[in-house]
Amino acid sequence: MSEALNIEDLRTLAKRRIPGFAFCYVDGGADDEVTLAHNRAIFRQFRLIPRQLRDVSNIDISTQFLGQKVERPFGICPTGYNGMLTHQGDLKLARAARRFGIPFIQSTMSTSSIEDIAAEMQGGEHWFQLYVLKDHSISARLMERAHAAGCSTLVVTTDAVILGNRESDRRNYTRPQVLTPSRKINVLLHPRWIMDVLVPHGIPIFGNLTEFLPKSQWSARDGARFISQQMTRALDWDHLERLRADWPGKFVVKGLLHCDDVEKAIGIGADGVILSNHGGRQLDGAVHPMEQLSAIKDRIGNGCEIYLDSGFRRGTDIAKALSLGAQGAFIGRASLYGLAASGQQGVELALNMLWDELEACMGQLGCASVGDLRPEMTIAGAPI
Ligand SMILES: Cc1cc2nc3c(=O)[nH]c(=O)nc-3n(C[C@H](O)[C@H](O)[C@H](O)COP(=O)(O)O)c2cc1C
């Protein structure tokens, strides 16, 4: 771990530390992974214009997300099945987020329950991500639990009503949740992971779903099947508006990329949106949020807060998004690589890397605060 200098180094360590099937699950994208690759390439297209001779002896990277102070202008994305990377993966992510004063968005598909994470996040920014399900009473119950547990913000994911075709992941299985013989052998070559994840506790289950399933169907296989049957393709703006009306806290729509959709989100009362292509795991060929950010800001001004995710691996990536008007960035795989490499310590290392890089970048740009990052400091050009 001490040799890891950046997120890519953590990715390399994660690849070594966990079995191949688990790494593919985290690392892979949809179809030909064109969007997955684009999510990194795009940041090379945006370049920074530094200002000199400004006092940057004290750099403050704190900001506000939805009216609450956050110590750093980034947070942790919702990701499902984190308990497969390390025992109690969600709890470790949540603890690291609380220590760093940043939001943790817990997935519907978390391997911990809402209540367990809430107990860990006391005083921290615990947001809950909802997959809207066919059975409205389940969505309603999850929202009720999230509110009762003190989640400040509901994040509704809109871009996964049809699951992306993740072939790199599917190749590991002969049928759902049954690994191919070579992947089974590969698992045996990871005794440390077996002792951490499998042996003492058994295969992790979906902590938020147990209430809706008989005990005999709590397994990951049954839970995944239940959710895939429950995903509704009928999700539309009317439905989202009703969810907004039912949720008493802040409301964020995740997975938008089109200006008109962001305007609609504001129209139904959203406080924020997360522009996202789901980290290249859904529609292959989708644009990157950075390509849409300026146009969306021009159209909506301060109509709601704009967050971005997908492909953030460097502090400079975050600085570019902030300078073009994003309120903050959310990171998915960057924190998961840390989690898989070394649990909570690995997540904290990842967050520290991004923090240090962002602070250094802001200093080199002549910015002592997040508010000093201005649109004229970032230009788009041909890739380098
Ligand atoms: C392993 C994994 C699981 C994910 N699970 C969810 C999920 O349960 N809900 C959700 O809204 N997004 C999910 N996402 C998407 C992330 O929230 C986020 O949009 C994406 O990871 C950002 O891209 P990045 O990983 O390149 O940072 C998942 C992403 C990964 C990598």
Residue nearest to atom 31 of ligand 1 (CA): 26
Residue nearest to atom 15 of ligand 1 (CA): 278
Active site residue 239: no
Residue nearest to atom 18 of ligand 1 (CA): 278
Average confidence (pLDDT) over 98-111: 98
CATH code of the domain in which 17 resides:
3.20.20.70
Average confidence (pLDDT) over 238-252: 98
Is 56 inside a domain boundary? yes
Residue 329 Cα to ligand 1 middle (Å): 13
Is 25 inside a domain boundary? yes
Give the structural domain span for 277: 7-168+226-380
Is 212 inside a domain boundary? no
Is 221 inside a domain boundary? no
Is 183 inside a domain boundary? no
Pocket around ligand 1 at a 6 A CB cut-off? 25-26, 39, 77-80, 107, 109, 129, 157, 254, 276, 278-279, 281, 309-312, 331-334
Task: Write out pLDDT tens, residues 297-323.
Answer: 999 999 999 999 999 999 999 999 999
Q: Which residues pair with 46 in a beta bridge?
A: 380
Whether the full predicted model's pTM is greater than 0.95, yes or no, is yes
Q: What is the C-alpha to C-alpha distance for residues 288 and 291, in angstroms, rounded to an integer?
A: 6
Is 181 inside a domain boundary? no
Average confidence (pLDDT) over 17-46: 98
Is 190 inside a domain boundary? no
Q: What is the pLDDT of residue 153?
A: 98
Is 193 inside a domain boundary? no
Average confidence (pLDDT) over 12-39: 98
Nearest-10 crossing angle of helices 20-27, 7-17: 150
Residue type, 9: D
- Label residue 26 by pLDDT band (50, 70, 90): very high
- Label residue 96 by pLDDT band (50, 70, 90): very high
- Label residue 381 by pLDDT band (50, 70, 90): confident
Average confidence (pLDDT) over 192-208: 93
- Please give the full DSSP string across 330-341, using - where no structure is assigned: EESHHHHHHHHH
Q: Are 305 and 68 in contact (CB under 8 A)?
A: no
Q: How many domains does the chain have?
A: 1
Lookup: tokens for 121: 């996040």
Task: Write out pLDDT tens, residues 160-189.
Answer: 999 999 999 999 999 888 999 999 999 999
